[in-house]
Chains A and B, each alone.
Chain A
Amino acid sequence: MLKGFIARFINVEPEKKILSVYFFLYFFLITSPFTIMKTFRNANFLHKLGKNSLPYAYLLTALIAGMVVVLHAKFQAKIPKKKLILFSLAFFSITNIVLYLVFLTRMKWFPLLYWVWVNILISVLMTHFWLVANEVFNPREIKKIIGFVGSGGILGGLLGGLLVKFSAGTFLYDYLLLISSLMLGLCLLVVSLIFKAQRDDLPDESSEQKKKDGKQSVTSAISFKSCMDSVRKSPYLSLMALIVSLTFIVSVLIDFQYNGIVGNTFEGESNLASFYGLFNAGVMVFAFLFQLFITGGMIKRLGIRGTLLFYPLILVFLSFGILFSPIIFFAIAIKASDKSLSYSVNQSIREILYIPVEPELRYRAKVFIDMFLQRFARGIGAVVVFVFIYFKIPMRFISVASLVFIVTWIVVSLKINKGYINVIKQNIQRKWKRAEKSVSDTLDLDYTKLVFDTLESKNRSEILYSMHVFDLIRQDKFTPEIEKIISQKSEEANASSFDALFGAEGGSWAYITEDKEEKEDLKTNIDEVMSLKSYQELMKGYTDKVIEKSKETEIEKMEIAKAIGLMNPDSPLVKRLIPLVKDNSPEISRYAIESAAKLRKKEFIPLLIEKLNSPMVMEDVIAALAKFGKKAVPDLEKNLKDPGVDIQTKKGIIKVLSREGNQKAADILTKNLDDIEEELEDDLIDSLDKIRSEMPDLILETKIIKNTVLKKLQRHSQLITRCIELDETEQKEISRSLSNLFKLLGLIYPHEDIMKAYQNIKSGTKSSTAYAVELLDNTLSKEFRDRLIPIIEDVSAAQKDK
């Protein structure tokens, strides 16, 4: 039962479970001493310097935070990250004891010094904590453990607060600072355990940086300026910095309003102290429960965008409340929301946003944003408060300023969601392209085929060879290089009649390769000759004689088939192609099919469609029909729907439509998605995927596709459930089904993203698989996300087990 309870909150791989517990303790052991120090600090500051000095403390903290970032950057350049983190914990633990001794001397400016020091402590330790967490866990894991680990921090805060409350007035109170130092010492041990568990995985970036940069000065590479530049130059990190700044400015404004309303409501120091104690404990309990039971589920359900908007939207509502009715209810509600949500949802979502950022950049950004910018933003908040105090503007109107900042925060949150998806995409690479795309990217297929056919024809017949060369000339592809390749004499080649007539003085076509005018003359001359009535009459007689003859005239039939393709489409000889297309010899048929494609006469279309079920010429027919373009579409569509047409022909038709690759072809294929024969499903989906990959802007009938995806998802789930022990065939079936699912999703969502995700889920590393799932989580709509992601996580877990 306990196991099940824990598993609910730490739903990660077994080896990461113990790490999650360490991180829970790590967080706990930071926030607990921090709360003790903070309470001590606040009481001491207010008692000694008064609340009116608070804005000075904020501003001084902002200033010192900048200096700390510079100092931290210098240490980071010299000390490996792991050592720096351990050193920081030891440093704060020891200096806390030293400061306690200073406190005993009752130095006048101690409260201010201690205020700033506590702020620096929490900035540095929290930054380090999340840096380590981000490196140990991937986005998927963080999402799963954030509720549990975050609750460790909140629980620490709660315990720290309760310790102060119940030790107040007892001898224990004097030792609280020493206890907090001890807690930091324990934290050091926990962090050592984390590093030990991750010894091989966690990179030592300081040394890696040195290796990468060679002679480059590491100090300059991670100075305060470089940290700031890293954020400034990255649009994504700039948006993050803006959100953090706005959050902390708003927080100061809320704090001021809350304290003002509480001060006006409760009279007397003991009443105030009692209220604050109860309030802080209540908020922490609420935050703890929220973090433990709601945050994780909320991120899962609302996604990054929904969760990002949740916090500011609540604040908008409550700010309006204070603006129109500045009563204690709204003051408590807004402060409780701000404090509890900033500890739970906001902290969690902010850390998730950091994860996909490249480690080195993330490190710099965190140093700048979390150590400096947070404090700096508080300073800006303090300045805004000063303005309101200076102009004596009623406190309720601070809500107007809050609302301006919150609305900006909402707008930026919407933008950063897009940025997050883009950064996730950058973390995964496309592993392969569609095979035919890779080939067509590097080869002009028609041209290559023509060159090969030319070479092949050389050994068959001089006339065929000449016709092929002329075809090359016609297409302006008869270059000297090609001439050189095709004029190489084959050993088997018989002495040509050209050689017999003119002697073997080089390639017969050599004279024409360089001279453009010669080429043009030749083209014109041949076209004109072929259009001559006398030529047509002569060739008609010859053709009829050859076609009537038996099998030994195969070469002649091939020559005629090729020649007709060179003629004008209106030539009466064109009709002679029909028996040649139908010829039983695949070679003759192939030549006739090619010529039919060149002439593009509509009457050939039904004939070619019929020929699709001849395996020997199927590919040639597909290529030929594709060249007809829109002309062939009505016949193709009619045949695809016709139940009387055989499967092989229909497969061919689908390939033709896929080869055509236009909107009309895609529409026909989509329409057939929901009632196509099962044997054709794979071909149909693959063809749509091919068209989509070539035309990303394609607009498809999404309703049909969505329905098909849902049906396929259901079938896939049944398949997985049915097959517990998978044999090879079942594995292939599941793999095929998953591939089809992704191809279909690629028709509705950005194709490149879906393919990236699929390829990384299928054969990516553990980390890239996690990013791929994260990308899907942020791309797919809820109806698909809820059904697909559990399946994928099962698949990737099974692959890892293997």
Chain B
Amino acid sequence: MEIDLREKQNITILDIEGEIRRSESSDSTLHQVVKDQLEKNKKYFLLNLDKVEFIDSFGVGEILASYISTQNVGGSLKLTNISKKLFLVFQVTMLSKVFEIFNDEQKALESFSKE
């Protein structure tokens, strides 16, 4: 898994690529990356999952942990370009009620400005 960071309108966009799974040996997990950013006083995150090929429960856990950490500091974390499969998982688990999910990045960014 590779995570590229960019920033637009004070929002940190995380472009994630590859597979988010437990077996993936990586120095920094998604949650770790988000926590690092929180330490740098970044509060608003948009996860772009467009290039994510696979995500297992561990990956979902990473997203949830990141979301909780962000919420704890009064920030927010939103999702964009998620796959059909992941959306179904989010619906069944009711996570779609908790998360804001967008089908394109621009709309997601606009939503931050409305908060």
What is A's interface to B at a CB cutoff of 8 Å? 462-463, 466-467, 470, 497-498, 500-502, 508-509, 511, 522, 524-526, 528-532, 534-535, 537-539, 542, 556, 559-560, 563, 566
Contacts and interface: CB of A to CB of B under 8 A. Distances in A.
B91 A462 contact: yes
A534 B65 contact: yes
Could you tell me the dominant secondary structure of chain B's interface residues? helix
Q: Interface on chain A toward B: helix, strand, loop, or mixed SS?
A: helix
A542 B91 contact: no
Contacts of A462: 91
Contacts of A522: 85, 88-89
Contacts of A566: 92
A-B pairs, top 9 by smallest CB distance, nearest first, are A528-B57, A466-B91, A534-B64, A501-B103, A470-B92, A532-B61, A529-B57, A534-B65, A529-B60
B67 A532 contact: no
Contact of B92 (A500, A524, A526, A534): A526
B88 A532 contact: no
B103 A500 contact: yes
Interface string B72-113: 000000000010110111011111111001010000000000
B68 interface: yes
B56 interface: yes
B93 A535 contact: yes
B84 A535 contact: no
A769 to B, nearest CB: 59
7 contacts: A466-B92, A526-B92, A528-B56, A532-B61, A534-B61, A538-B67, A542-B97
Contact of B94 (A500, A508, A534, A539): A539
Contacts of A542: 94, 97-98
Nearest to A559: B94
B24 to A, nearest CB: 16
A526 B68 contact: no
Interface string B40-84: 000000000000000011001100110110000000000000101
Contacts of A559: 94, 97
A463 B103 contact: no
Contact of A463 (B64, B68, B84, B91): B91
Given A522-B89, A526-B92, A535-B61, A556 B103 contact: no
A546 B68 CA distance: 18
Given A509-B88, A528-B57, A535 B97 contact: no
B87 A501 contact: yes
Contacts of A509: 88
Contacts of A466: 88, 91-92
A538 B77 CA distance: 13
A525 B98 contact: no
Contacts of B82: 501
A530 B65 CA distance: 14
A480 to B, nearest CB: 17
A525 B87 CA distance: 12
Contact of B84 (A470, A500, A502): A502
B92 A556 contact: no
B88 to A, nearest CB: 6
B57 A525 contact: yes
A501 B60 contact: no
A524 to B, nearest CB: 8
A372 to B, nearest CB: 79
A525 B83 CA distance: 14
A529 B61 CA distance: 7
Given A462-B91, A501-B101, A535-B93, 16 more contacts: A463-B96, A466-B91, A466-B92, A467-B92, A497-B101, A500-B103, A502-B103, A525-B56, A530-B93, A531-B57, A532-B57, A532-B60, A538-B64, A538-B95, A538-B98, A563-B93
A498 B97 contact: no
Contacts of B67: 538
A498 B68 CA distance: 25
A566 B95 CA distance: 14
Contacts of A501: 82, 87, 101, 103
Contacts of A529: 57, 60-61, 89, 93, 95
Nearest to B102: A501
Nearest to B56: A525
Interface in B14-53: none
A534 B60 CA distance: 10
A525 B103 contact: no
B64 A526 contact: no
A42 B64 CA distance: 112
A522 B84 CA distance: 12
A524 B58 CA distance: 12
Nearest to A500: B103
B92 A498 contact: no
B88 A508 contact: yes
A500 B84 CA distance: 12
B45 to A, nearest CB: 16
A538 B70 CA distance: 12
Contact of A535 (B64, B87, B103): B64
Contacts of A526: 89, 92-93
Contact of A498 (B57, B65, B87): B87
Contacts of B60: 525, 529, 532, 535
A508 B84 CA distance: 8
A534 B87 contact: no
B91 to A, nearest CB: 4
Nearest to A503: B103
A576 B46 CA distance: 32
A123 B88 CA distance: 86
Given A466-B92, A539-B94, A532 B84 contact: no
Given A501-B103, A537-B68, A525 B94 contact: no
A744 to B, nearest CB: 50
A790 B82 CA distance: 79
A565 to B, nearest CB: 12
A534 B68 contact: yes
A139 B87 CA distance: 74
A485 B29 CA distance: 42
B89 A532 contact: no
A450 to B, nearest CB: 15
Contacts of A534: 61, 64-65, 68
A526 B24 CA distance: 20
Contacts of B57: 524-525, 528-529, 531-532
Contacts of A508: 84, 88
A137 B57 CA distance: 79
A463 B91 CA distance: 5
A530 B57 CA distance: 9
Given A501-B101, A502-B84, A529-B57, A560 B89 contact: no
